Amino acid sequence: MIMKAIDEKYKKTIEILKKSVPVSDSQDDIEREVINVISSLPVQNKDNFSVFNFLFGWTEIVWIRRSLIMASFLLVAIFIYQQSVIVKQLNWLSTQIVINGEKHFNTSVIDFSGRLRFLKFSGSRVHSNSSPITDDQLDMLIESIDKLQKDYNNLTRIIEENPELKEMIEKKLVEKNYNKVKL
Amino acid sequence: MIDIRLIEECRSGNLNNFRKVVEASTPFAFSVAFRMLGDEDLAKDIVQETLVTVWQKISKIKSPEVYKTWLYRIVLNKCYDELRKQKRNPEISQDDSSWAKLSERIADNSPEGIGKTDMAVIISGLTEKLSPKQKAVFILSDFEDMTNDEIAAITGMSKLTVKANLFYARKSIRNMLQKYL
């Protein structure tokens, strides 16, 4: 019952408001004002306008605008993804340098100090079991290896220059069964 | 009704024909603007701005047939901007005498309408809980007799959204009627 009364009131209210069409008292003023404003507007150069329209008119098309917005979001997302992949790859590469360095460190004795220097300058950290070796310790190691290499070269040169000494040492090496050592 | 040939000629920059378009467009543009804003001076400004925009952009409309939809859309967009400004400085003054007049008309079953000032007070009271878009959907549907398809084309909403907004608006207005009458 109450609902019916409200519906009735609603219908009548809408009917009354619909009948009361608002009409401006100053319609002529509005029209005059509009024409005045339009007349005072600068005349558009039709040729320039059409060229501009031809070049950039497509920006007014809603579906193109929306597509471009979507595309820009997509490009930003791809850019962020690529950046994260590149950072990941760089991190992976830096760990690879350490692994390769350690491999050379373990398997080769030729230019040992050079490899150590490479490890130092490449920024890789050399690990001794679990604790990293400091730069000072690495410098000391490189220095001692250089000294050792120098002494070894001197010794080899002395032995090479003296065939008797060389023969004697070779004989001793055979006696002691140090077959792997070659002069 | 606006002659489509007039619109077509205005698109090529004929100012004399545009005078006739202005004359034909002003009443219904004013009607919507006034019902949306409830203020004659503001509605007048909105109509003037709208018609200047129409002149500046009439060459861009796809076809003269969509002129009316396009005109309503410009009016509504300008009304939304105005309502947004008013939201920052709300000026709702409810006058009991306007509601008394409406009650009288309803009781008497009078076929007469009511004055602009009373109408402004009543519409602003009834739609005070509605968003500008809901208000626009309600005004276009119940006062301007537009179909949901036409409203969807004007407001840019889907037909379903128009229906939902209209349902909510009518429900809210029923509640407001209970409050005021």
What is the 3-class SS of B61-121, one letter each residue? CCCHHHHHHHHHHHHHHHHHHHHHHHHHCCCCCCCHHHHHHHHHHHHHCCCCCCCHHHHHH
CB contact under 8 A, B23 and A33: no
Structure tokens at B127: 């739609």
Chain A CB contacts of B123 below 8 Å:
17
* Of A7, A20, A25, Cβ closest to residue B113: A20
Of residues A181 and B31, more confidently modeled = B31
Question: pTM of the full predicted structure?
Answer: 0.61
Chain B CB contacts of A47 below 8 Å:
none
Q: Which fold has domain B1-91?
A: Rna Polymerase Sigma Factor; Chain: A (1.10.1740)
CB contact under 8 A, B102 and A13: yes
What share of chain A has pLDDT > 70, as a percent? 73
Question: What tens digit of pLDDT does each residue of A72-122 get?
Answer: 999 999 999 999 999 999 988 877 755 454 444 444 455 666 777 776 666
Instruction: Give the torsion through C-alpha atoms of A81, A82, A84, A88, to 10 deg.
Output: 140
Going by pLDDT thresholds of 50, 70 and 90, the confidence category of residue B89 is low
Predicted pLDDT of residue A60: 75
- Is the model's pLDDT at B21 over the cut of 60? yes
CB pairs under 8 A between A and B: 104
Predicted pLDDT of residue B137: 95
Q: Are strands A127-128 and A131-132 parallel, antiparallel or unpaired?
A: antiparallel
For chain A, positions 19-58, list CB contacts with chain B under 8 A. 19-27, 29-31, 33-35, 37-39, 41
Given 3.30.930.10, 3.90.950.20, 3.40.309.10, 1.10.10.10, which CATH number is that of B95-181? 1.10.10.10
In this prediction, the answer to ipTM > 0.90 reads no
- Decide: residue A48, CB within 10 A, 0-12 exposed, 13-18 middle, 19+ buried: exposed
What's the longest Cα–Cα distance across chain A?
Answer: 133
| CATH topology identical between B1-91 and B95-181 | no
Predicted pLDDT of residue A180: 66
Predicted pLDDT of residue A69: 93
Q: Which residue of A has its CA nearest to B25?
A: A31
Question: What tens digit of pLDDT does each residue of A142-161 get?
Answer: 888 889 989 989 998 998 88
Instruction: Say which residues have a Cβ less than 8 Å from residue A183's Cβ, sequence separation at least 6.
Output: A156, A159, A160, A166, A169, A170
Q: Which residue of B has its CA nearest to A44?
A: B56
State how far the Cα of B115 lies from the Cα of B101, in Å rounded to an integer. Answer: 10
Question: What tens digit of pLDDT does each residue of A49-62 get?
Answer: 667 777 887 887 88
Structure tokens at A22: 């608002």
Residues forming a β-bridge with A128: A131
State how far the Cα of B92 lies from the Cα of B76, in Å rounded to an integer. Answer: 20
Give ∠ CA A14-A15-A19 in degrees, rounded to 5: 115
Predicted pLDDT of residue A111: 66
* Of B22, B35, B60, Cβ closest to residue A34: B22
Instruction: Give domain limits for chain B.
Output: 1-91, 95-181
Helix (H) or strand (E) holding A161, with range, is helix A135-161
